[in-house]
Structure 1
């Protein structure tokens, strides 16, 4: 098998398992996404609702000869005493663009799975939920993967995203760094027509200049941020001795006392703390998910998804 292709034998712990991403389709079930309002600028600076393909109600006016009687606005007619007709405009198809952090910091995990694997699971679920809601879905990698998958409709769109997630997550890559501000600026050049943007990151790439880009992107589309964290980054470290290895050198890390117990998460979780503070300051919706549980509730909250009957 080519090295460029995802491995079907991936363990789903340190490597992204394509089979698991494909199986997530069943988890979507009757999940649906709510009506969206486009924030993209266009003539007249008016928003249009995004349901998928079809027609969207615009306004009502007094009935004119030749109007389709099936489109009479009976409520307004009853209130005014004059026949009124509903006018419709063509709806635009909703689009979800997933921004996936592929920095080396994502390939880390002390419990259950790597952050990169959890991020891929969250992205795949979002993709399946989007196509379930008749939205196109696309994927943009940043960090070690400067790649873009243009939004596509239907199951083909979600399948393409799943394939890219597995391929990106299981290939070695150069450790190039891309600050969050640069990634968001690049996303704004490709976000045209997207009604939603889901950013998935651990926050380690969050830089001081990301605030302006985050605000601007949130003006163009409904933006949600999913912060993926390892338990070691957010909770005090239990006392004890921990074997560590870096660059082939092994050592013992001794954690004793309250100060040391809070030192490690303070250092490892600094990026997540910056990201959370930035989202609070800018009013951008943010949810945090660990590596040990399911990301589905957090993603559903960010997408506004709901279960059907």
Structure 2
């Protein structure tokens, strides 16, 4: 059980400060005292014994109910299982209400807030030693407890009533589904308890919320083409430089420094001179995933609904990062926006988990300033890196940024993340015409980027970048004319 929670509104003002009462009388207690007093007063003034006898049950019942009063307020804790939780995965959690007092609670009312991207399908409660599936929590004022039917709105928006005997804890078990990536909250939960036959009620006790990390679902992605530039020392890509690798480059005459195991004996016996097999080195590459967070478009419907620009951007970035990290390449992340967040390049499974955590904090941030200079410093972006820009091409600064990257000599590939279902928010008279004109202007911008050597491709899952990387690799391997 967690430590006791401070009732809502309670603050510490010093060691000598008087703590507010944690239990307050209810209206039922006030009515019982008032009715008993009126009957006794009327019986004394009128000299009627029957009124005194009529007041006796109220006085005795109130005194008997208050013979043992609770001292401690109820405790509440919110818990949620967030281990490897992805979009569409099952969510389990619990709201635990504890009673450390020697007096049982006649009624405990629980109400909790849940993120709209976490759908709660089933709510059940069970005391200590009772299976949670054997009983279900009932809303306050309902009759027999029944489980919540899936597909309805969040059931925790309404209060749930249960009982908590002395010295026990009751778990309000939650079961549902995560609908969208991000950091979502379960809670806070508010609990109030009634004791002494409803004559005393506790102050509201608030349990802190629990944040749940939901990772984006990895869309299928595969790129079979080689990297345009492989500049590392080791890796899984064939480079154009000779070295120790698995790709045969040719046969040449033996020279100083060549290893004996590289001698090609067939060619050497035929030419009567030692020859060795020349190999191409296997090197890794650095992939920079640049996320344009200047604008958002479309409406997010979760894992089973429509995807917004941010949804497509995050999910495709996770898929591309997983693919290249699995091949042993170094992957880094950059944000094109006011915050200019950056994740350093690294490789391995640890980097993949770091990328997923980094993507959870991606937010759209609008700014009137140009974020290019403080994002693409010479020490942040390698000249040999493959820069994959995930952008909706809604802001004009995004197109200018792509053009500047291409003019700097870097290998740039733009992935269009604007969903086809994106429509203008309003339904005015000329909204459809304005939207068509905006689409035509955007297509002209994409055409100008392609003329500047920036390939623009729509994200379509597996094989989205194969044709583009093939053309880029040919341009990178083509001989460059010498300047005289």
Match of 1:95 among 286, 292, 301: 286
Counterparts of 1:249-264 in structure 2, within 5 Å, are 253-255=427-429, 261-264=432-435
Q: Do 1:203 and 1:274's aligned partners in 2 also have CA atoms closer than 8 Å?
A: no
- The alignment status of 1:190 with 2:396, answered yes or no, reads no
Query: Where does residue 123 of structure 1 map in the other structure?
Result: 317
**Partner secondary structure for residue 168 of structure 1:** coil
**Partner secondary structure for residue 340 of structure 2:** coil
Cα separation, 2, equivalents of 1:119 and 1:109? 13
Rg (Cα) greater in structure: 2
Cα separation, 2, equivalents of 1:76 and 1:177? 67
- The alignment status of 1:165 with 2:165, answered yes or no, reads no
Distance 1:96 1:260, change over 3 A: same
Kindly indicate which of the two structures has a greater share of residues assigned to strand: 2
TM-score normalised to structure 2 length:
0.44
Q: Do 1:179 and 1:205's aligned partners in 2 also have CA atoms closer than 8 Å?
A: no
Q: Do 1:13 and 1:114's aligned partners in 2 also have CA atoms closer than 8 Å?
A: no
Cα separation, 2, equivalents of 1:220 and 1:184? 18
Query: Where does residue 464 of structure 2 map in the other structure?
Result: 298
Distance 1:187 1:159, change over 3 A: farther
Query: Where does residue 201 of structure 2 map in the other structure?
Result: none
Cα separation, 1, equivalents of 2:293 and 2:425? 26
- The alignment status of 1:137 with 2:331, answered yes or no, reads yes
Counterparts of 1:37-76 in structure 2, within 5 Å, are 37-38=228-229, 49=239, 55=245, 61-64=252-255, 67-73=258-264
Match of 1:203 among 390, 393, 405: 393
For residues 182-238 of structure 1, give each alpha carbon's deviation from its aligned partner in whole angstroms, at most 9, with x where no partner exists.
Answer: 279716542226431100101123347546513234x333x21101113355xxx7x
**Partner secondary structure for residue 139 of structure 1:** strand
Cα separation, 2, equivalents of 1:19 and 1:75? 60
Query: Where does residue 228 of structure 1 map in the other structure?
Result: 417
TM-score normalised to structure 1 length:
0.65
CA-based RMSD: 4.2
Distance 1:159 1:79, change over 3 A: farther
Cα separation, 1, equivalents of 2:266 and 2:226? 23
**Partner secondary structure for residue 417 of structure 2:** strand
Query: Where does residue 265 of structure 1 map in the other structure?
Result: 436
State the 1:129 CA deviation: 0.7
Distance 1:260 1:86, change over 3 A: same
**Partner secondary structure for residue 273 of structure 2:** coil
Kindly indicate which of the two structures has a greater share of residues assigned to helix: 1
Q: Do 1:140 and 1:149's aligned partners in 2 also have CA atoms closer than 8 Å?
A: yes
Cα separation, 1, equivalents of 2:365 and 2:251? 58
Query: Where does residue 114 of structure 1 map in the other structure?
Result: 308
Cα separation, 1, equivalents of 2:469 and 2:425? 40
Counterparts of 1:140-159 in structure 2, within 5 Å, are 140-159=334-353
Higher RCO structure, 1 or 2 (CA under 8 Å, sep 6+): 1
> Comparing 208-217 with 224-233, which one deviates more in the overlay?
208-217
Cα separation, 2, equivalents of 1:202 and 1:183? 21
Q: How many residues align?
A: 258
Cα separation, 2, equivalents of 1:183 and 1:227? 23
